[in-house]
Amino acid sequence: MRHDFMVVLDTNSKALAVDCSTQYDSSGDRDSYHFLLSLNGVLEHALLIKGKLLPDGKPVRGSGVAQERDIKSSEIRRRVKHEMDFWLKGMYRKKVDLGRPKQAP
């Protein structure tokens, strides 16, 4: 799973919206969810892009199919809440050990 967070700017570098995306890879397929939110945090668009992966994990060029998703559906609301919890509350993140380096045996 991969998470991305981008701020959408206009030509004058003024912030217009926020794009949060999550990418899932599994058994030759890739699903990417993109959520466009207003600066007030209101979900405006939800997009699912489904594509195929080569055995080495790289995407198959031209295999992606984009689908607009219903922003009022329970599935999309759940996924957006998960993204907001990840980015704003730090939930669901992997624990990183920042302690001492391990000694060689």
Note whether 14 and 34 are within 8 A (CB).
no
Per-residue pLDDT, 43: 94
93 contacts 85 by C-beta, under 8 angstroms: no
Sheet of 29-38: strands edge to edge? 2-9, 15-26, 29-38, 43-52, 65-69
**The token pair that represents 46 in the structure block:** 């939800």
The whole-chain average pLDDT of the chain stands at 88
pLDDT tens digits, one per residue of 23-55: 988 888 999 999 999 999 899 999 999 999 988
Among residues 30, 38, 40, 32, the alpha carbon closest in space to that of 79 is found at 32
